[in-house]
A and B are shown apart, each in its own frame.
Chain A
Amino acid sequence: MKTWKTLIAAAGIAGVTLGAGQASAFELGVVAFQMSAETQARCANTVGEEAAKLGWEAQVLNSNGALETHASQLDNLIQKGVDGLILCMSKPVQFDAQFEAAKSAGIPVITISSGASPHTLFDVTPNEYIMAAEAAIYLLGTINYEGNVLLQRFESNTGARIRGSILDAVLVENPTVKIVGEHSMARTKSWQDDVRNGMSALILQNAGNFDGVWASFDGQALIIDDLLKESGLNKGDVSLVSIDGGQEVYRRIKDPESMMTATIAIPFENMAKSAVTMMNQIAVEGKAKEELVPGPYLFIPATLVDKSNVDEFLK
């Protein structure tokens, strides 16, 4: 009996959402691959908020970092017949079938920081190559292009992988800087533990033998910063540089006890706003995609933030 009642209640709860779902003129499906990553949550939430400002019904879904869940959610939204899809940090290669199905169903798809696909309109992204070069050169500058560095990589994300590749290219040209330890984050569902475990071992192993730390994104850098502080290091002892941006990172750049030196502020909110604006222009106002974005990417500029300009970013 209890089961009965619960399932009926479940159906009731689901029904509560029905009115809103049917009232809107434009239904937007928003799917973030892993919302436990702050950047993805910022991205998906901003898309939802911007869509609401236009009077759209935005349904935000989180795939929990699981490929099959992401595929199922995309399939379900396509079956629902949403008017448009905006995907945060999706994976065009893995979900090629779903993207193709969306295209066949006439559903426009805009991705954010995901990579290009022949079945989507375009990808809104910062230029990873430029950002990565800027961060890498900045890190080397803070240690006078000499010394040892620790690296925290993330190879399964296209953007983070590009950042690592560009760092490698910069290091090839600067052989006086040596990598003394590196860890590659692999577990997307429990990435915080993965980074903490990997980097704490490297920091212990190389105590006193490294001058800088490079992290492929800021979430990793925040964990590493805590580990560096726990190991007794003070500001100025080592330089920690990463990419993404966010209020906590900016606070740490300013914090006299933090090792965080700089980040590249990716305007995730602006990217999300652009995606919604473009979706509106293309799917509602009927403008041709080529008029707005000629290629597969809509590049959004990013800014290097260090102590010289951090106040401009702190809220």
Chain B
Amino acid sequence: MSLKSFIEVYGTFVAGITLFVFLLIFANNFASTANLLNVLKQVSFLSILAIGFTFALITSELDLSFANVCSLAAVVIGSLISTDTAWPAAVAAGIGVGIAAGLLNGLLVTVLKVPSLISTLGTASVANGLAFMITGGVAFVGRWDPNFLFLGRGKIGPVPVIILITVVLFFIALILSTQTRTGVHLQATGENEEAARRSGINTRNCKILGLTLSGLAAGLTAVFLVANLSSAAPQMAGDFLLNGIAATLLGMTMFTPAKPNILGTFVGALIIVCLSNGLILLGAQYYIQDIMLGIIIIVSVAVSASVLKRAAFAL
């Protein structure tokens, strides 16, 4: 592997490790067990959502609705629990909302041929409206079953449960995307839809599946978010849209350059959360974080575009 290829494949990863080492040395308390668990807990919520988004992107479709769908699923869970519905049923309903929204996105893209950029923006708006309709803008708080809260803020020993759940979900997603026939079909659909279709792959179903997995991830994240914050509000996942996209784009600059990949997304989420946590530990004011996130998105897209351009010329 040439140095250039090494940098393309592992450059961001090495930069991430450099950042990590920098924070270990210079940011007080960054290396403490409590803080590292805190970082991993924050990564958990973001990475579950971003991994879902990655599945949509693997099939070359954008899902700009995942944050709003997550908020909608959260308020559905909140409204059901606040009306004394058993929490497992509320959780199932929240996940169901995510799946339904993802499926709807998939059908809009494949049946009605509405570009995913537009259709998922529409779904995002509908989800937002429904969330406000359910709540009237007021957050659901209180009357949470401790067993339900355990999903978001419980611990096994010193380790938050959400971290363990994320590890399991991460490996399931990784295996699904790289080690199964379905994963190969999803990748093929995203890389060259026409070629995939001519090879006998049902690209329509692949796109529906990719977007549905994104919705499923939004529903799952909603469950853990509500359990963590013991409340449900219409825009509770608002900041996840930009962070989730940033994590995925950052992930596209490593391991399989210019291609969305699960491992890359996870590392991307880790870098974003470490940066966010590190900046606070270093005493940076609030606007620095937004500036850094913007820079990451711009650079990630620029790097991916550059790799893609060279690949196109090579062909």
Q: Counting CB contacts under 8 A, is B14 at the interface?
A: yes
A1-14 CB contact bits vs B (8 Å, 1 = yes)? 11110111011011
Asked whether B235 lies within 8 Å of A189 as measured between CB atoms, the reply is: yes
Asked whether A61 lies within 8 Å of B234 as measured between CB atoms, the reply is: no
* Shortest Cβ gap from B9 to chain A (Å): 12
Known: A4-B14, A71-B229. A10 touches B295 (CB 8 A): yes
Q: A residues within 8 A CB of B281?
A: 76, 79-80
Q: A residues within 8 A CB of B302?
A: 2
Asked whether A7 lies within 8 Å of B282 as measured between CB atoms, the reply is: no
Asked whether A15 lies within 8 Å of B282 as measured between CB atoms, the reply is: yes
Q: Which residue of A lies closest to B225 (CB)?
A: A68
Q: Range of interface residues on chain A?
A: 35 or more
Q: Which residue of B lies closest to A71 (CB)?
A: B229
Q: Which residue of A lies closest to B14 (CB)?
A: A4
Pick from B22, B153, B240, B296: contact of A97, CB under 8 Å: B153
In the complex, the number of residue pairs spanning A and B with C-beta atoms less than 8 Å apart equals 177
Within the assembled complex, what's the spacing in Å between the Cα atoms of A77 and B236? Answer: 20
Q: B residues within 8 A CB of A96?
A: 230
* Shortest Cβ gap from B5 to chain A (Å): 12
Asked whether B229 lies within 8 Å of A22 as measured between CB atoms, the reply is: no
Q: Which residue of B lies closest to A185 (CB)?
A: B137
Q: Counting CB contacts under 8 A, is B35 at the interface?
A: yes
Pick from A10, A17, A185: contact of B275, CB under 8 Å: A10
Q: Which residue of A lies closest to B36 (CB)?
A: A79
Asked whether B137 lies within 8 Å of A79 as measured between CB atoms, the reply is: no
Q: Give residues of chain B (218-270) contacting chain A, Cβ–Cβ below 8 Å.
A: 225, 228-231, 233-240, 253
Pick from B34, B239, B285, B296: contact of A66, CB under 8 Å: B239
Q: Counting CB contacts under 8 A, is A269 at the interface?
A: no
Known: A76-B38, A96-B230. A81 touches B15 (CB 8 A): no
* Shortest Cβ gap from B220 to chain A (Å): 15
Asked whether A94 lies within 8 Å of B231 as measured between CB atoms, the reply is: yes
Asked whether B26 lies within 8 Å of A186 as measured between CB atoms, the reply is: no
Q: B residues within 8 A CB of A35?
A: 286
Q: A residues within 8 A CB of B132?
A: 186-187
Q: Counting CB contacts under 8 A, is B100 at the interface?
A: no
Asked whether A13 lies within 8 Å of B137 as measured between CB atoms, the reply is: no
* Shortest Cβ gap from A73 to chain B (Å): 7
Asked whether A67 lies within 8 Å of B231 as measured between CB atoms, the reply is: yes
Q: List 27 A-B contacts (CB under 8 A).
A: A1-B7, A2-B302, A6-B15, A6-B295, A7-B15, A8-B18, A10-B275, A14-B292, A15-B22, A17-B282, A21-B282, A57-B283, A61-B280, A61-B285, A66-B236, A66-B238, A67-B233, A75-B42, A76-B277, A79-B38, A80-B29, A91-B139, A93-B141, A97-B153, A97-B230, A187-B235, A189-B235
